Amino acid sequence: MQQSGPASKAADSLIPKVKPATPNDLDFRPGALRLVTDSETGSRFWVFTYVIANKTGKSQRFSPRFELLMGDGTVLEAGRDVPVDAARRMQSAAAGPRALDQFQVMGEIPDGESNAREGFVVWPARGDAKEMTLFVAGTSAAFDRRTDPATGKEGLIRRTWSRRYSVSGSTDPRSSAEASFDPIGDAWIMR
């Protein structure tokens, strides 16, 4: 039985609604998520590739945020704790010579497919890799203001693309691997 009245309206206000795509959203095309072992140090890194294009009819600013939520609840921020020289080796190993790292790809993107940029992001391999969720914010202008019920503070939530990945076998793969996903599970969320 569905509730009505003030209690159900209050509960509904706590559940963020996914806003529809706007004509101002950038065209985000996800690539592969790969576990790569650094040939020089033996350290392992997750490398995600993508293409971002602007088809809005005007120049747009791209300031992305990439986070990887591991199966054990560990949240990895792209680029954090990744040495610059290791990121360059990951580019060669998994992304390709034209790909820009997350800081080089930031900024104004002129309109048109010819101005599309290839990008890659890197995280150190930590946490349970059997199941992961990738969150990408910054491709959409859609946002909302919400009050955190625990703190009473108002904050922003943004339209964020998410994809669930899995790695078959061990929760801590020792060799290079590509994570698999089901594109039907891709979702836009407010986060």
The 10s digit of each residue's pLDDT in 94-133 is: 888 889 998 899 999 999 999 999 999 999 999 888 899 9
d(CA 174, CA 33): 16
Residue 11 lies in a domain: no
Its domain, for residue 47, covers 26-190
Under 8 Å between Cβ of 28 and 52: yes
pLDDT of residue 32: 92
The helix (run of H) or strand (run of E) holding residue 108 is strand 107-109
Residue 2 lies in a domain: no
**Domain tally for the chain?**
1
Residue 67 lies in a domain: yes
**Which residues touch 10 (CB under 8 Å, ≥6 apart)?**
none
Tens of pLDDT, residue by residue over 8-63, are 444 445 444 455 567 888 999 999 999 999 989 999 999 999 999 999 999 999 99
DSSP 8-state secondary structure symbol assigned to residue 16 = P
Residue 63 lies in a domain: yes
Sheet with 100-101, side-by-side order of all strands: 100-101, 117-124, 44-53, 27-37, 177-178
Residue 107 lies in a domain: yes
Residue 19 lies in a domain: no
Type of residue numbered 16? P
- The pTM (predicted TM-score) of the whole model is 0.83
Q: What is the CATH number of the domain that holds 68?
A: 2.60.40
Residue 41 lies in a domain: yes
**β-strand pairing of 154-166 with 177-178:** unpaired
**Which residues touch 74 (CB under 8 Å, ≥6 apart)?**
126, 127, 128
Under 8 Å between Cβ of 114 and 51: no
Residue 176 lies in a domain: yes
Predicted confidence band of residue 141 (pLDDT cuts 50, 70, 90): confident
